[in-house]
Amino acid sequence: MALRHRLTGTCIGTVAAGLLVSGGVFGENSAHAMPADDGYPVPAGVASIPMGAYLDYGPVGIQRMEQLSRWLGGAELKVGHTYLPGDRWVNIEGGHSFLDAWAEWRQGADDRLFVLNVPMMERNESRLSDRRVRRLLRAGAAGQFDHHFRTLATRLVDLGVPDTVIVLGWEMNGVTYTHRCGPDPESWKTYWKRIVTAMRSVPGQEFRFDFAPNRGRDAIPWTECYPGDDVVDIIGMDSYDQPPGGTFEDQVTTPYGLQKQVEFAAAHNKVISYPEWGLFRNGDNPEYMRGMLDWIEQHKPLYQTITDYCPHGVWQCDDNPMSSKVFRSKLLAQPTPVEPTPSPVTPTPVPTPSAVTPTPTPVEPTPSPASPTSTMTPTPTPVEPTPVPTPTPSAATPTPTPTPVEATPTPTPSPATPTPTPTPTPVEPTPVPTPTPSAATPTPTPTPSPATPTPTPTPVEPEPVESTPVPAPASSKPPTPKPVPPTPTPKPVPPTPGPEMNSDEWCVKLDLGAWVSQWISPQKICVTFPWPVSWPF
């Protein structure tokens, strides 16, 4: 399978949150395990074989291994599996930090196994032509790339993982990678030997090299690429559920299939492995999942790691529920009577505080505004008078009557203001001030139209109440009527007079304002035209 699929981690994050809790979704507990004397489970069958899962190439993969272990009821994943990028030599040399996290994981327990897929060429997924691949293989066979692999070996030893299993040049019998064998099998085998020799030359190394072709013949029979027993420690096989329509029995009996791998390894006295396996071309296939797990249990590989992301996955990909059920039932750890209960119970109380989330605190604010509504009756009365005087200056422009009410002593000469003035005076003695709370209730009703009469009592009421904080504005109100005369509405009225038809004199009245007109009689300007009889039009 292409490394780009592994490094992108397709379909990551599709796992339901409930799958992360031990106890799981399926509720099955049919693992083949026998309790030991101390009460802890002792794995048997397929669960006893070191197991891993490729979940992500970096530290995230380690975290997901812990989550997958909980989903399997605490079954330990003893195999950590990742890949070096094959884009540039510096990455094939291990020149990146994510190997540090894997080395730390490996050192966490003596029985853990770190498996690292190592490309044999840079630009490993660039789809180079056979001619260019052949030239590169010959350059590698001549030793031109040995130093890159010595650098990698030194780095692994320095990180404290000298016993890493190196899956070198995997799936070499296919057509996907630049490190494929088909264009020149002899040069490929020589190049493999040079790489192994270079890495074994580093002091302190204990590497094991895994020869892992694709299952089946593919582009070339993988046996033609086998480099020799002296440079191979493990004979692996990547075995996905393909081609479409095939059965698991077909995968066993096909030429260069699973049966051939087991026989070839026995003939060469090598252990077997399954670095990559999983669903692929036949959708959710529980028959394949059951057959592969039974095969692993029967033939006891050194390790097995399932590829777990869509479409291969049984944990990170929820598209394969039946296969997921089979996988979990085969590998679920036998729980002690005490362990299964705490693990589901601990997550359950964590959500229960969600019952606290509808806390009475959000509920209390809603009644609290309801109770102030009764108290709001007194509060609106002071609030309403304050807005009323503020609009009156702005509203004074359309209706000058409210403003003179405040300045009744000063603008006595204006005849329009006295008419409203008598109305406020009877209103002041009225029992309006006494039923102030009840007056708050009528105020909403007259707000639209009777706004003019209502302000007259209200300004009188707040002025005594607010006279102490704001006496100066009340006395300084006489300047405020002064802006009222500059906004005289009568100005549109004077343009109405026009000349009488057929007259020889044109007169225009002069509007000197209400204040000047008190002392000066109305004036006009007249112009006499020379024609004697009539207008020319």
> How, if at all, do strands 234-236 and 239-240 pair?
unpaired
Element (H, E) at 80: strand 79-83
- Nearest Cα to Cα of residue 137 among 94, 177, 176, 90: 177
- Nearest Cα to Cα of residue 3 among 103, 92, 133, 104: 92
Distance between CA atoms of residues 98 and 161, nearest Å: 14
Identify the CATH number of the domain defined by range 3-354: 3.20.20.80
Distance between CA atoms of residues 235 and 273, nearest Å: 6
Block residue for tokens 């299939």: 257
Beta bridge partners of 509: 524
Domain boundaries, the chain: 3-354
Kindly write down the DSSP assignment for every residue of 190-255, as one continuous string: HHHHHHHHHHHTSTT---EEEE-PBSS-TTS-GGGG---GGG-SEEE-BEES-STT--HHHHHHST
Output b/e per residue, 133-169; b: 16+ Cβ within 10 A: bbebbbebbeeebbebbbbbbbbbbebebeebbbbbb
The pTM of the full predicted model, rounded to 2 decimals, is: 0.59
Per-residue pLDDT of the chain (537 residues; tens, 9 = 90+): 444 444 443 333 333 333 333 333 333 333 333 333 334 344 568 889 999 999 999 999 999 999 999 999 999 999 999 999 999 999 999 988 899 999 999 999 999 999 999 999 999 999 999 999 999 999 999 999 999 999 999 999 999 999 999 999 999 999 999 999 999 999 999 999 999 999 999 999 999 999 999 999 999 999 999 999 999 999 999 999 999 999 999 999 999 999 999 999 999 999 999 999 999 999 999 999 999 999 999 999 999 999 999 999 999 999 999 999 999 999 998 544 434 444 444 444 433 333 333 333 333 333 333 333 333 433 344 444 444 444 433 333 343 444 433 443 433 333 333 333 444 444 444 444 444 433 333 334 434 343 334 444 444 344 444 444 434 443 434 444 444 444 444 444 444 444 444 445 656 666 777 666 666 666 666 665 554 443 333
Beta bridge partners of 51: 304
Q: Is 300 left (phi over 0), alpha (psi -120 to 50) or beta?
A: left
Distance between CA atoms of residues 185 and 208, nearest Å: 22
Distance between CA atoms of residues 14 and 321, nearest Å: 13
